[in-house]
Structure 1
Amino acid sequence: MNMKKSIAVLGLGKYGSSLAQALYDLGEDVLVVDKNENLIRDMSSKVTSAVCANLDNEDEVAALGLQNYDIAITCMGGNLSASILCVSIAKEKGVPVVIAKASSDRMKKILKRVGVDKIICPEEDGGVRSARILTSQYIKDYFEIDDNLCMIEIQPKKAWVGKNLIELNLRKKFNMNVAGIKTNGGNWAYIDPTREITEDNLLMVIIEKDDINKWR
């Protein structure tokens, strides 16, 4: 079983709020931070913990205890100075993975110089995600993990219904790993390889991008 990750989401715009709640729904420990008290109050029941702090203030960012987190994500694409500050402190504190949202090519270059591990561009990623979904009758959502791997939510093909993962042997046939399953809008869960797949299931699959077109 995968260990639960602790993730700090810094900045609660539309993207940061959506990301934080999605991570929490997937079972991760999520801290959210923003200076807007109303946003913090609204998110407090949707994540593990919510802290009101000014992310432009070095002392307040340093006091967040980022060294206790596996991943730190800055979601302030419109605030370069706060993004640089948060990335710098997260790196100094030894956070294993530091991710930052960028709103321009210039911001990407600057954040890379500061030492960020991964850049998120929601506008670009959103277009790719939409394209993947619209061109397949089975793909319901699409997330890039890195330049090679992606995670997709798929509806089972008709030929898969009534069979289990052992019978389907999807890893060998399509180079895909099934990470989770859910039914009728329920929560994601680990899948028993002997469990029969039904029409109302959704599967969470990790696959290389080049292999997506081989099965859809």
Structure 2
Amino acid sequence: MKKSVAVLGLGKYGRSIAENLYNMGADVLAVDEDENVINEISSKCTSAVCANLSNEDEVAALGLKNMDIVVTAMGRSLAASIMSVSVAKEQGVPIVVCKASSDRMASILKKVGADKIIDPEGEGGLRSASILMSTSFKEFFALDENMYMIEMNPKKEWIGKNLRELELRKVMNLNVVAIKEKGKNWTHVDPSVPFSASSILLIVVERKDIKKCQ
């Protein structure tokens, strides 16, 4: 089932996460107050709307109650971020993720209901989108422009099977480089030992194959 995500605020970070989410198969509502920005992104998302995100009526009219996730990416506009978080939570959005430009802003947004705070300096749009789209991803790191390292739980269909059975490198081009169980340290993967639901895998993957991990 597709995830529905609203991205509010389309600066560099907001555009990046909106486009990456859309490319990963999400239904994306992109919102900004600049009509030129909306025109530029309209072909790279499901729908694009021009709205004043500091205006309660305009934010309420966006239909956020239909979203699985709302991302507020107005890192320098505290008023717009507070308004968006408040309306999203009032409308029952289960996950609200906020970009914050300072510790003080992060603290305020948490108090009004934000579930996760994004540090745009350390969390690029692709990384954020990948984690939001997957129920398995715990961490996501770029090794270079093409190769990524993902820390994740095994996919449901992998549980109870081992590397020899799954042949992840051959079948999916995924290289499992380490594994750990809850409360233990990372170790090399024994290809004969089945993965459990609590296993955490460290996987190296090419950019084009990231979707296979989700």
2 CA distance for matches of 1:112 and 1:145? 20
1:42 to 25, 40, 43: 40
Q: 1:83 to 1:171 in 2, by over 3 A?
A: same
What's the counterpart of residue 135 of structure 1?
Answer: none
- Equivalent residues of 2:176, 2:203 under 8 A apart: no
2:140 pairs with one of 148, 151, 156 = 151
After TM superposition, give the deviation of residue 177 of structure 1 in Å.
7.1
Cα deviation code 1:112-157 (max 9, x no counterpart): 110100000111435xx9xxxxxxxxxxx866949x921346479x
In structure 2, what residue type is equivalent to 1:27?
Answer: G
Rounded Cα–Cα distance in structure 1 between residues aligned with 2:115 and 2:67: 15
Q: Match for 2:140: what amino acid?
A: M
C-alpha contact 1:10 1:76 (8 A) present in aligned 2: yes
Provide the residue aligned with 2:15 in structure 1. Answer: 17
Contact 2:98 2:116 in 1 (8 A): yes
The runs of at least 4 aligned residues of structure 1 exceeding 2 Å deviation read: 141-146, 151-156, 160-165, 168-172, 185-190
Q: Secondary structure of 1:123's match?
A: coil
- Aligned counterpart, 1:118: 116
Equivalent-residue separation in structure 2 for 1:189 and 1:99 (angstroms): 21
Contact 1:26/1:188 (8 A) holds in 2: no
Task: Kindly indicate whether the alpha-carbon contact (under 8 Å) linking 1:9 and 1:75 is maintained by their aligned counterparts in 2.
Answer: yes
Name the counterpart of 1:109.
107
Q: 1:187 to 1:111 in 2, by over 3 A?
A: same
Q: Percent identity?
A: 52
Distance 1:162 1:100 in 2: 36
**In the alignment, residue 102 of structure 1 is paired with which amino acid?**
A
The 3-state SS of whatever aligns with 1:98 is strand
- Give, in whole Å, the separation in 1 of the partners of 2:109 and 2:73: 12
Provide the rounded CA distance (Å) in 2 between the counterparts of 1:87 and 1:70: 14
Structure 1 length-normalised TM:
0.66
User: Partners in 1 of 2:116 and 2:34 — Cα distance?
Assistant: 26
Q: Does 1:6 align with 2:31?
A: no
User: Is the 1:55–1:82 contact (alpha carbons within 8 Å) kept by the matching residues of 2?
Assistant: yes
Structure 2 residue matching 1:8: 3-state secondary structure: strand
RMSD: 3.6
8 Å Cα contact 1:99/1:118 also seen in 2: yes
Q: Helix, strand or coil for the counterpart of 1:45?
A: helix
Give unpaired runs (5+ residues) of structure 2.
150-166, 180-188, 191-199
**CA distance, structure 1, for counterparts of residue 117 and residue 208 of structure 2:** 31
Where structure 1 has 5 or more consecutive residues not aligned to the other structure, the ranges are: 130-140, 191-203, 206-216
